[in-house]
Structure formats: structure tokens, C-alpha cells
Structure 1
Amino acid sequence: MKNSFLTITFLLLTVFCSYISLAQTEKEIAPPYNIKTISFLQSDRNVIPIFKLGEGFQLQFDDLFANEANYYYEIIHCDYNWNPTAIPKNEYLEGFDNQRIQDYTNSFNTLQIYSHYKLSIPNQFTQQLRISGNYIIKVLDENKEVVFSRKFILCEDLVTVPMQVKRARTVDNIEMKHNLDFTIKSNTITFQNPLKNIKVLLLQNGQLNSGIKNISPQYTIGNDLIYKYDSETQFWAGNEFLFFENKDIRSASNNVARIDSKTPIYGSYLYTSAARANFPYSFTQDVNGNFVVNNLNSANNEIEADYAWVYFSLSAPTFRLNKNIYVTGMFNNYTLSPEYKMEYNPKKAIYEKAILIKQGFANFEYKVADEKGAIDYENTIDGNFYQTENEYTILVYYRESIDRYDRVVGKGMANSINIIN
């Protein structure tokens, strides 16, 4: 009798632990040093990974070991808070995952050798993703250990989200923040209990890990949900992204001061950036953090674009916070890891960092964060200016009482270049 009780207790604990492990929040896993230039593409262009349900896309990356290693992929459907959903895989995925990535090619005519991998969704194994929502894709090695993971979102087109970007409603931040006013409208869905069934995600320049969440509608007019908050929907405006271009790594180009060709891999030394927080706002055209792989002298940029050491330097004499400065952008998924943390050079009185980046054009920015990765937007190196041009996206999640997952039923987009008071 005692043994039977212990057996039942053990089984219950096993089931409970399995449930807890399944419910753990999925976070993006940064890649190891040899994995570079991870990007989602549509029509051969790097894009923010928010796609319409049924659209195709690609995930691409390079392996600097260039040993044609075997990589596999796994796709996991998640809820609004990025917890894996309990629905069976065959309900959200037609076909199979956990398959080997078969499309790979070695680099050609480059100083830094690498293997370039491409995973298309859909493909012969994964015919389609059936439902909308949050997804995370994991790339695994031969031992089925996770090498890296990336989030992406599939959305439907059942609601419209007219929105406006306004200056901050709070006087203290009127020069430094953007505020989003928006409405959710639908001719397809009747919102029975919007406080419970509707959730939104507000994004600045498509940065999935720094969005504003858990905002309820302020009030309703008929079937329209109205969001006109003063502070809850505000973003620090930041400043325009910086950029460099080294599509010809043998000669200095835009924002590249000089080239070092004496090393096995070319070095691109950028002009030293000055901290812009205490300077007046100045408009410079950017692509809101994006990057383009480009070799001026190649026919196929995917495998003929080379890698170069890009040397960043920053003059920030008034920076006194006990925090770190990182170089980030879409080229590294805004990752705050030691690989991108700047070091202070006391002899030159500047911050420096060398990063291996695939040649082309790239936007970047300097982010201030503590050791735990909490970003200090208020005390940013380059300041916050309401004139800054940012792209804003709002995603609408909908879950009926009988549903088992959070659908993404629509999105809205607006640019702060059309900001109003």
C-alpha cells in the first residue's frame, strides 16, 4: 500500500514538473560566436519577423566554422506572454519540423570562410503554419542542443488599427517621448468582453523584446475599442540610428575613416561618434535599425559578401553611470552580450569595440544597460528627441473564452514623421 502511494505521488510530481517545464516562458537564445548574420527575409530583403498568416519567408544565417555542420529546426507556438501553448503540434503545423536544414552553400572568394544556411517556410517538410500567433523557431545541432532561437509572429487581417503618433501628454517628457493613440475596429469580430479577450503589443521599430504590453481599452464606442492614454502608451523617442557602409571593404566609404588591410580579415575603422544627447536634434536618413548585406563586386551577396572587423569608437565624456554601453542593431538582434559591450580606453578617453560584421550597409545605435540587461532609455547616449523618425507597430491579440490560444487578428502601423501635438 505504501509503495503504491509513493508510486502515485511520484507520477503526479512527474506530470506536474512536465507541465511547469512546458509553461516556461520562451526567450530568444543568443547564438554562439561562430553563428552570424541571422535574419528573416521576404523578397530577398531583411524584414521584421511579423508576417501575414499564409505568407512565405526565410530564415538565413552563416556558420564561420564552414564545416557544413548539420542543423535542425523546431517551431513552437506560444501565447501572448511567449509561453508554449498546449495545443498539439499537428494543429498549428502541417507536416513536420525537427528536420535537417538542407539548403546550405559555402562562401566563395572570401577571406573569412563560412557556410550559409537557408530555411524556407513553407518547405517540403513543413507545408504550412495553420494558425496565427506568437512563434519561436529554434535551430538545433546534431545533438539536438539549441544553437539559437528567434521569435516571429503570424497575424490575420480581421481588425483595423487606425493610429496616430503624438508628442507626450506629460509635460516633463513632451520633448523626449512619443505617445500612441489608436482604435481597434472590426466588421468581423464582435468584442463581447474586450477587457478579458483583447490584448495589444506596441512595438518601436519592430523590437519584439522591448514592446509595451497589457494595455486595456480605455473605453468603447459601439464595437470600437479606444486607447487614448497619457502615459501608458508612451515610448522614449531616442535619436536617429547611426550607420556605416563598407560594400567595398578595400576602400573607405560612408562613415568609414580608414581600412586596415594588413590583417587576415580586413578592418573597417569608423569615425569616432560623439554622444549626441547634449546636441540639438539633427535629421539623418536611416532605415530604423535594419541592415543590408552587399558586396559591390559580387554576383551573389549571400555567399560572396565577406566579413570585416568593424571598429566602433564613441566619445562620451559626460557619461558617468555605472552601466554598460552596447553596440546594437538588427544586425545582432539588439543583443546585449559581452560580444557587443564597449570597453573604455583611458589613453584615448573613448569607448571602443571591434565587431565582426558581414559587409554592406548597417544601422546601429549605442544602448545603455545594467548588468542584468535592463535598458536605460532615459539616459541614452544619443538623447531623446520628439522629432526622431520611428516606425510603430501595434499587434492585436484576441482570445475567446472557448479558445485555446491567442490569435493575432490584425496590426496597425504609423510613423512619427507624421507626429502631431
Structure 2
Amino acid sequence: MRPFFRLLALLFFCTTATELLAQQLRTIDHIYDPKVQTVLLFPLVGSNPNDPALTLNPPVISLDEQVSLQLEFDDLTANYRSFRARLIHCNADWQRSILNDIEFTYEYNDNPITEYQTSINTKIQYFHYRFTLPRVKLPGNYLIVVYDERNRNNIIFTRRFSTYQNRLNVAADVRFSTNPAYQFNSQQVDLSINYRGYQVISPQDDFKVVIRQNYRDDRVLRDLRPTSVQAFDQTLEYRLIDMTNTLPGGNEFRFFDTRTVLSRANYIERIDRPADRNIAYVQEDKPRSRGVYIQSDDFNGMFVIDHRETGNGATNADYIETIFTLKIPEIPNVELFVNGAFNFWQLNDVNKMAYDPLLNAYRASVLLKQGVYNYDYMVQTTGSQPKVDENYIEGSYSSTENDYEVFVYHRPPASRADQLVAYKRVGVNKRK
């Protein structure tokens, strides 16, 4: 590249980075444009890239394997728009790192999203976009930022993902809490890290361990300290008794099936079909916080997009106005939400419920693409310091089947950012 064009490219990089930074971009999963829906980011594993179950895998991939991350989303303006994508590197706490683009990318860090399709035979028209993320150099946390090509300040959405290289050996086990007061409602994660052959100065201080439940960023344990350091064996053990490695077990998620609108599928009470849209009423729910644990299969809060008649959920699945009903007397000084991965586990106006005195129940209407969804109900107190309680409606049991991930971060000597040097997935109470 000639010096003049190299200078232009550098200036473009700096301008784009300045624009994004000036907005004080939040490094979270979030959709800023209400006309964009169903943002999916998942690894392309297996032989069938169109398998709807692929979206049940978290966007965490190994740099040592030839696996790519696929981004898909819908634009409900029903007009073609030009989008571009940019990657941002983050530290273990998901704060933006000081790395320059060239330090973690192989290519020019500004990618056009050119692959798209229009919806087919749907009442609500949309454009379906796809984009395969470029590979990165370093293991760690990243944020993909999608923005309008015509206005770089117009950010459409952001999604988190992680890449790792297993340079350490992690062993993890999940069981009921060893604290007698919590043994029937909480789960404890014990783990050990073997760092033999890995260069580290102060292992008890330098490793940052993060534990995540069911791929949810609102169910995370941080700042864990090892209970013992075995210098000869080069092993750290985390067998804590102070509850810092304990999370509520929760309950199995509720679910419903809207893959077809020609008949009522699982947990759908009725379907209305006006000319402009379809309306699905999920069967009336009741609290589950009292009573015994009931075993059932679920997606641990996730969802899949699918269309039963064609098997092509990407462009044949329609958007349905989905009505949730929770039969419970009005609760003072709280707000209720129907929640799940479909809203990134965030509590906002999209999934907020309103009390209907005629029904003596709370109701919410959420626009969702056809598929199979997991969900539950969450309570948030009102006031200056709101508190969230998922167990108030759903209950919590140590027998619940859950997935856990262990992330181990380290900043190598002379490095300027945290790297993800070990990743481990472990399940508890799995069905055979």
C-alpha cells in the first residue's frame, strides 16, 4: 500500500474509533434500533449450517479450531439498508481495552454486511441479514458493533462474544450448596486450575475467574479467590464455603411453541389471525414458588427460530404478537417482566407486564419470530435502588438442570489486555 493510502486508512480507523468512543458505547448485548429484531450470534458447528438448534450454543469459540461465528438478524422496516460491522476488544470485566485494531484483527476492521434475503409469505415483511465474523488474533472478550453505513453514529445493535485458547487445565463440579440453609435451593461450583507449564508470576492473584450460569450475563460470579495454592503441583483450588461460588438453582423454564399458526402447538391457548398480523396467546401461567420441584426438559432460557411447514425459519417464519398472562393478584411496589434470552435477559419496556384488574392477572405483548421459546417471570422492586427477584414467582431448587461456564482470564507479561486462557463447560442434573 502506498504511503498516502496507508495514511488515509489510518485516519479512517481513528475517526471511526473516535466516533464510537464518543458515544460512550455500552459493551453489552443491546438493540438500539427497535425495527431490528431476533439478533442471533452462534458458532457454526456440525454439518448442517441451517440447523435451528445451532443457536442454543453460546457465542464462545476456540481459536485452535476452524469454527466461525455466524451473525443473523432481521430488519422489519421491509426496506434494504446498508449495515457495517466493527469489532471491539474488551478486558475480563467487559470494559473496552486499549488495544489497537491491528493488535487483534487480521483484516481491515470495518466490514460490510452484504448477504441478505427477503421474507417469504409473511404478514410482517422483513429483510434477513447474515454475516460471518472475521477471525481474531487474540483469545478474549469482544463486542461486535453493527451500525448504519450512511450514518456511523447510528449504532443498530451490539453483541458480545468470546474466543479462547486452553492453555490451562480446568476441572469443575457443580452440586447442591454445602451451606445447610441453601442446600435445597442453590448450586455450588467447585473448581481447580492446573497451570503446569504456563508462565505466571503470582497465580493466586493473576488469574481472573468468572462463572456464568445458563449463558446469562446477569447470572455471573466474579472475583473468586482460591482456597488453596499447591505450588508443587501448580494447582489452584476453589472450594469456597462463604457462598461466593454459589448461585440459586432456579427452576426449569416455561416454554411455548409457535412454529406453526395453522393449529395450536404446545402451551398455546389460541391463535387469532387478523389481516395484518398473527396473535398467539400463551396459556395462562401461575406462580411456581410454592410446592415441589417438577422435572421437565428445557433450553435453559434459550430459544430456536423455526417454521414447521417449510423448515426454513430464517425467511419463512413470521413475526407474531405473543401475549403472556400471569394469573396473580396485583403486587404493590413492584414491576413484573416476562423474561428470557429473547430479550437478552434485560428488563425494559419490551417485556414489561401490566396488571389487568378485569383478568386479575398481569399481561404483556411481545413481538417474537416463530419458534420454540423458553421464558420465566421476574419481579423488580420500584424505587431508587430496584432489586430483581427471579425466585419470587418461579421458585428455586438445587435439583434444577443447569449449564455452567468457567472463564479463566490472565494478562501475560508485557501484554496490554486480558486474554481468555481457559474455558470449561459443565452441566448439573443432566437427564440421561
Residue 277 of structure 1: aligned partner: 289
Q: 2:140 aligns with which of 110, 133, 136?
A: 133
The equivalent of 1:305 in structure 2 is 317
Pairwise CA distance, 1:296: 1.1
Letter in 2 for 1:139: V
Contact 1:292 / 1:361 at 8 angstroms: preserved in 2? Answer: yes
Whole-Å Cα distance in 2 between the matches of residues 267 and 188 of structure 1?
A: 59
Greater mean deviation of Cα atoms: 215-224 or 189-198: 189-198
Shift of 1:120: 0.4
Which among 147, 172, 194 is matched to residue 163 of structure 1? 172
Corresponding position of 2:340? 329
Q: How many angstroms does 1:348 deviate by? A: 0.7
Tell me the secondary structure at the aligned position of residue 31 of structure 2.
coil
**Other-structure match for 1:75:** 87
Counterpart of 1:148 in structure 2 is 157
Distance, in Å, in 2 between the alignment partners of 1:392 and 1:374 is 27
**TM-score (norm: length of structure 1):** 0.89
Which residue of structure 2 aligns with residue 38 of structure 1?
39
SS of residue in 2 equivalent to 1:74: strand
| Deviation per residue, 1:376-397 (Å, 9 max, x gap) | 3464311111111110111000
Does the Cα contact within 8 Å between 1:336 and 1:373 map onto a contact in 2? no
1:219 matched to 2:241? The reply is no
Q: Deviations for 1:87-131, whole angstroms, at most 9, x for unmatched residues?
A: 211110111222321111111111110000111023xxxxx2100
Query: For residues 385 and 130 of structure 2, what CA distance do their matches in structure 1 show?
Result: 30
CA 347–25 in structure 1, closer or farther in 2 if over 3 Å, else same: closer
**Which secondary structure state, in structure 1, belongs to the residue aligned with residue 392 of structure 2?**
coil
- The aligned residue for residue 3 of structure 2 is none
Gap runs ≥5 in structure 1: 1-16, 123-127
1:209 CA drift (Å): 3.8
Q: Does 1:105 align with 2:117?
A: yes
Q: Which residue of 2 aligns with 1:243?
A: 255
Distance 1:379 1:362, change over 3 A: closer
1:176 is aligned, of 185, 207, 223, to: 185
Question: Aligned letter for 1:143?
Answer: N
1:347 equivalent to 2:355? Answer: no
Q: Is the 8 A contact 1:247 1:296 kept in 2?
A: yes
CA offset at residue 293 of structure 1?
A: 1.0
Partner in structure 1 of residue 28 of structure 2: 27
Distance in 1 (alpha carbons) for counterparts of 2:188 and 2:388: 18
Counterpart position of 2:63: 53
Deviation at 1:375, TM superposition (A): 5.2
Residue 418 to residue 271, structure 1, CA distance change in 2 (3 Å):
closer
On the 8 A contact 2:254/2:298 being kept in 1, the answer is: yes
Distance of 2:122 and 2:364 partners within structure 1: 23
* Cα deviation code 1:144-167 (max 9, x no counterpart): 121111111111111222111121
- Secondary structure of 2:269's match? strand
Percent of aligned pairs sharing the same letter: 27
Write the letter of the residue equivalent to 2:90. C
- Describe the shift of the 1:263–1:375 C-alpha distance in structure 2 as closer, same or farther (beyond 3 A): farther
1:392–1:415 contact (8 Å) kept in structure 2: yes
Q: Deviations over 1:354-413 (max 9, x none)?
A: 111110111111122245795534643111111111101110001134221111011122
* Cα distance change on mapping 1:370 and 1:310 into 2, 3 Å: same
The alignment's TM-score, normalised by the length of structure 2, stands at 0.86
CA RMSD of aligned residues (A): 2.3
Question: Bigger shift: 85-94 or 371-380?
Answer: 371-380
Counterpart Cα distance in 1 of 2:402 and 2:290:
20
Q: Quick check: 2:251–2:397 contact (8 Å CA) kept in 1?
A: yes
Bigger mean CA offset, 365-374 vs 48-57? 365-374
- Residue 219 to residue 337, structure 1, CA distance change in 2 (3 Å): same
Q: Which amino acid aligns with 1:131?
A: L
Distance 1:105 1:30, change over 3 A: same
Structure 2 gap segments, 5+ residues each: 1-17
* Residue 407 of structure 2 corresponds to residue 395 of structure 1: yes
CA contact (8 A) 1:236 1:377 kept: no
Q: Write the distance in 1 (CA, Å) between the matches of 2:365 and 2:25.
A: 35
Counterpart of 2:212 (choices 187, 194, 203) is: 203
Matched, 1:384 2:409: no
**Per-residue deviation, 1:28:** 3.4
AA in 2 matched with 1:52? S
Q: Secondary structure at the match of 1:196?
A: helix
Aligned twin of 2:370: 359
> Using the alignment, how far apart are the partners of 1:296 and 1:200 within structure 2?
42
What are the within-5 Å matches in structure 2 for residues 253-268 of structure 1?
253-268=265-280
Q: After the TM superposition, which of the residue ranges 272-281 and 290-299 deviates more from structure 2?
A: 290-299
Asked if structure 1 preserves the Cα contact closer than 8 Å seen for 2:27 and 2:158, the reply is: no
Aligned residues between the structures: 396
**Residues 23 and 83, structure 1, Cα contact 8 Å, conserved in 2:** no
Distance 1:63 1:52 in 2: 30
